[in-house]
Amino acid sequence: MAEHAEHHAYPVGLRLSGRRVVVLGAGQVAQRRLPALIAAGADVLLVSPSATPSVEAMADTGEIRWERRGYRPGDLADAWYALISTDDPEANAAASREAEERRVWCVRSDDAEAATAWTPATGHIEGVTVAVLTGRDPRRSAALRDAVVDGLRDGRIAAPHHRPRPESEGGVPVALVGGGPGDPDLITVRGRRLLAEADVVVADRLGPRDLLDELPPHVEVIDAAKIPYGRAMAQEAINDALIEHARAGKRVVRLKGGDPFVFGRGMEEAQALVEEGIPYTVVPGISSTISVPGAAGIPVTHRGVAHEFTVVSGHVAPDDARSLVDWAALAKLRGTLVVLMGVQNSGAIAAALIEHGRGADTPVAVIQEGTTAAQRRVDATLASLGETIRAEGVRPPAVIVIGDVVTLTPR
């Protein structure tokens, strides 16, 4: 039945672990809501003919089940909760009627009045989930949510101070924000605040995607996901998007995984902005080069074991003419070697190091999806690295740590 205007929504926390949730449509709305459903342990069925690259990656990694088609009557059978977000009004209405008939709580992205549930503005801090509903004023919901989360973080409960838009010749600066290695709690305070103030967010797949669910509905999220060896948004298109929206006077955040200037193409984006006379600010992020090994219990340096560590990209194979890495020199170093983007070329990298003198029995650890709930560690030696990665089904993103520090454990 229709919601009476004078009646408030009844707030409740859904325990969806292991329970069927059906998501219709795989666009921007689904991209923002799916990470929270996955984090809740829901058994997610996605029904959509196509998907954004980030949503496609969730299906490829097995986090959700994706049926590549449009809505059909009966899709909501056995569902506990439904998110309807397709661009087909008739399909949305039909699915909404089915939800009503089956008594499935249903969120409608296109028509809140026709929905039986509303998505609150949510935030998470130290095990506490804050959810705010203010009827049909989502910006106010987001502001109240932010105030409570900030108050819990620093011991006060007060609305956050919003900085005025800076006056400058080039307009509002673009923020190149390092989001850290994946855990949303590992973004810097400044990065999180700039994200909360954004009008437009250009986000990578490797950034802390859970933070996108906290953005109010008016924020435009541009998917710049770079799925390894898959489809990608060209760097020129990313640069153009930053420039276009900054010129329109919008607050733009380029949310990147790790640190913007560690294999993040942050300087390319900064150069493009400067060429157009647009100011920018860089918010450094916690790099996965150190944080991911640390999260797996591996120090990249240790007294008496390793007094240096070297970070290198493994994106280009050692025998590729485009490679700028001196693998012969790296093989002679005694310290720790940290390889990013090296899963695909792991066997060739190991062979090159062994060929140039690094011991075949050198211990190696591979940490996949470090700092996230899906983190796992696989150990090998340099000689067995490529085969171990294949046998264990290791997928990007993963950090490869080579050296004696891998064998250290707390005493």
Does residue 204 carry a catalytic annotation? yes
Q: 405: buried, middle or exposed (CB in 10 Å: 19+, 13-18, 0-12)?
A: buried
Contact between residue 198 and residue 274 where contact means Cβ atoms under 8 Å apart: no
Output DSSP code: residue 8: P
Contact between residue 239 and residue 268 where contact means Cβ atoms under 8 Å apart: yes
**Interatomic CA distance for residues 11 and 7, integer angstroms:** 12
Catalytic choice (150, 223, 226, 256)? 226
Nearest-5° Cα angle at 182, 180 to 186:
50
Catalytic choice (183, 204, 210, 259)? 204
> For residue 356, how many C-alpha atoms fall within 13 Å in the half-sphere facing its CB?
14
Measured in residues, the chain has a length of 411
Contact between residue 264 and residue 311 where contact means Cβ atoms under 8 Å apart: no
DSSP for 116-162, written as a single string = S--PPEEEEETTEEEEE--TT-HHHHHHHHHHHHHHHHHT---PPPP
Nearest-5° Cα angle at 55, 12 to 311:
110
Considering only CA atoms, give the Rg of the chain.
Answer: 23
Output DSSP code: residue 87: S
Does residue 226 carry a catalytic annotation? yes
Q: Locate tokens 């797996």: which residue?
A: 296
Cα dihedral 148, 144, 241, 340 in deg (nearest 10): 20
The two three-digit tokens of residue 279, written as one number: 């100011």
Cα dihedral 133, 135, 137, 142 in deg (nearest 10): 0
Q: Locate tokens 């004078």: which residue?
A: 6
Of 349, 339, 340, 361, residue with least CA distance to 318: 349
Helix 266-275 to helix 235-247 angle, to the nearest 10 degrees? 50
What's the N-to-C CA distance of the chain in angstroms? 63
Nearest-5° Cα angle at 42, 184 to 31:
55
**Interatomic CA distance for residues 359 and 382, integer angstroms:** 7
The two three-digit tokens of residue 115, written as one number: 């929905």
| Catalytically annotated residues | 204, 226
